[in-house]
Amino acid sequence: MIGHAFRTLRRYLQTPAARTADELGNAIEDEISFHIGERTREYTAKGMSKQDAYRAALQRFGDVSRIAAECHTAAVSSVVIWHRLHLGMTAVLAVAVGTLWFTSAARVSNPLQVISELPPGIASMLDNDWTGDITGQLLDERRQPIAAAHVLVVVKTWPDQSYFQRAYTARTDEHGRFGIANVHPINEQYEVQIAALAENRVLKSAYYSRTAGELNPLVFELPPSSGFALQVEAERGAALPGVAVLPHGRTEASGAEHLVYFDSAQSLIKQTDEDGRVDLPYFEPGDTASLLLRTPEGDWEPWEITVPARGEVATIRPHLNSARNVKYSPEES
Amino acid sequence: MAANEKALLLQGTLDMLILKSLLPGARHGYDIVRWIEATSDDALAIEEGSLYPALHRMERRGWIVSEWGQSESNRRAKFYTLTRAGRARLGREIDAWETLVRAIALILKAEPAEA
């Protein structure tokens, strides 16, 4: 049963698609015509007239139309089933593909529909024109460009009563310029926090609140800094190497604050060397340096240091003093 | 032997004779009829109207395959060739036929008292 069905299917698949019922009928007629012609020739060779021979051949063959119909039925009866099955499956497949295409076309043609399936905040972010760029330039005290400086940017948005904060980083080129493309929306409110850090230059930051539309190019002037060395020691004054130190902020003597957001500051993290020391070049004497420290076995902890005079070293002993935010000054260390 | 004296084929034997006729090689329908008639000393009469439906049925079943070619009279004719399945079918048909003939012979040879 299965073998027969398989053979019939194979024969159906091997049947040329152009082999229509008409073509099959013509082939059967040709075959019968050949037979009657040969029989006529046989009878003619035996002395009959052509007309009589043809009539006798026809008579012997029988009802040509009936026999041709029987041949047709015998040839295609089972194939017809496969043909109808084939047509049916093709129709089902066509409907399925059409439905799929129509559905996907509708989704593509209506991106808002796709967006509406996303979480509200993300949907709003994508829905709005999120093409705002942040550009600017870093200059020294003589208005000369500062190259290879770090620019850390954090963009805050509030789409659909949600809150999103994204961090970006950039380095200045030889002209001291930087640019970060497509970082803030145009059609909704946003806020930008930006920090600029360069070797031997003071850390500066700015905050642009309740901003909308395009942001004008930002220009930072970074005066030279003296910097300072930070010494991190263990309980008995032993150097503590491998401590991660991140400059988190600078408060000028005047009280002006400059912040570095943790999200954007991964590129600024330094490790204390084998002497437990790390150079922090972004500060001036008298500044309060806000630092984040992480010992190899600990978590990030905040510290504030009064930046010592040029050439002096500030010391922190995390294990001795469990209290946080303890100010260490050169006099104390 | 006159045509009206020719024996009619037993039902079911036409396929076997057609397959047997194709054993030596490809033949067209008219040649099959003539071979059967000549080989049986004109004792068997093939109903030509039955031949072609049988050929198409056997082709559908995969016992034979067909191909158009040139006949001896240089006319376009359809030639049939035996397939492997057709050879196997012929073997089974011959076995069944021989079994039938032996059974009928035993019956015919039997004495009435044995029945």
Predicted local distance difference test score (pLDDT) of residue B22: 97
- CB contacts of A73 in chain B (<8 Å) are 53
Predicted local distance difference test score (pLDDT) of residue A205: 92
Predicted local distance difference test score (pLDDT) of residue A90: 86
Q: In this structure, what DSSP letter does residue A53 have?
A: H
d(CA A60, nearest CA chain B) in Å: 7
For tokens 């972004």, the residue is A282
The reply to whether residue B30 touches residue A38, judged by beta carbons under 8 angstroms, is: yes
Q: Going by C-beta distance under 8 Å and a sequence separation of 6 or more, which residues neighbour residue A72?
A: A21, A24, A25, A28, B56
Predicted local distance difference test score (pLDDT) of residue A8: 62
User: What's the whole-number mean pLDDT along residues B80-89?
Assistant: 95
- CB contacts of A80 in chain B (<8 Å) are none
Contact by Cβ (8 Å): A72, A25? yes
The reply to whether residue A7 touches residue B61, judged by beta carbons under 8 angstroms, is: yes
3-state secondary structure of B113: helix
Residue A77 is inside which H or E element, if any? helix A64-109
3-state secondary structure of B31: helix
The reply to whether residue B30 touches residue A78, judged by beta carbons under 8 angstroms, is: no
Nearest to A11 among B47, B60, B77 (CB): B60
Residue whose C-alpha is closest to residue B66's, from A5, A3, A1, A74: A74
Q: What percentage of residues in chain B have a pLDDT greater than 70? A: 88
pLDDT digit string (tens) for chain A, length 333 residues: 577 666 666 666 655 444 556 667 778 888 999 999 999 999 999 999 999 999 999 999 988 888 888 888 887 766 666 777 777 888 899 999 988 888 777 665 555 545 455 555 666 666 666 778 899 999 999 999 999 999 998 888 877 667 778 888 899 999 999 998 888 887 778 889 999 999 899 999 999 887 778 888 889 999 999 888 888 887 777 888 889 999 999 999 888 999 988 877 888 899 999 888 999 999 988 899 998 888 887 888 888 888 888 878 888 887 665 433 344 444 443
d(CA B104, CA B101): 5
**Considering Cα of A171, then A177, then A181, then A185, what sign does the dihedral take?**
positive
Q: How far is CA A90 from CA A20, A94, A96, A101, in A?
A: 18, 6, 10, 16
Residue whose C-alpha is closest to residue A272's, from A246, A245, A292: A245
Nearest to B49 among A31, A62, A74 (CB): A62
The reply to whether residue B52 touches residue A63, judged by beta carbons under 8 angstroms, is: no
Other residues' Cβ atoms within 10 Å of the Cβ of residue A146: 20
d(CA B101, nearest CA chain A) in Å: 29
d(CA A206, CA A183): 17
Predicted local distance difference test score (pLDDT) of residue A322: 41
d(CA A311, CA A199): 16
- CB contacts of A76 in chain B (<8 Å) are 60
Chain A 63-82, residues with CB within 8 Å of chain B CB atoms = 63, 66-67, 70-79
- CB contacts of A75 in chain B (<8 Å) are 56-57, 59-60
* Helices and strands (DSSP H and E) totals, chain A: 6, 15
Residue whose C-alpha is closest to residue B86's, from B32, B31, B34, B15: B15
Predicted local distance difference test score (pLDDT) of residue A328: 43
Count how many pairs of residues, chain A against chain B, have C-beta atoms within 8 Å: 70
In terms of residues, how long is chain A? 333
Predicted local distance difference test score (pLDDT) of residue A32: 92
- pLDDT by residue (tens digit) across A221-247? 999 998 888 888 877 778 888 899 999
Angle at A181 between CA A179 and CA A182, to 5 degrees: 150
- pLDDT by residue (tens digit) across B39-53? 998 888 788 888 999
**Residue B87 pLDDT exceeds 60:** yes
Residue A34 at interface with chain B, using a CB cutoff of 8 Å: yes
Does the interface ipTM go beyond 0.90? no
- CB contacts of A72 in chain B (<8 Å) are 56
- pLDDT by residue (tens digit) across A9-37? 666 665 544 455 666 777 888 899 999 99
**Residue B114 pLDDT exceeds 70:** no
Residue whose C-alpha is closest to residue A205's, from A253, A250, A239: A250
Predicted local distance difference test score (pLDDT) of residue A331: 42
Q: Which residue of A has its CA nearest to B62?
A: A7
Q: In this structure, what DSSP letter does residue A193 have?
A: E
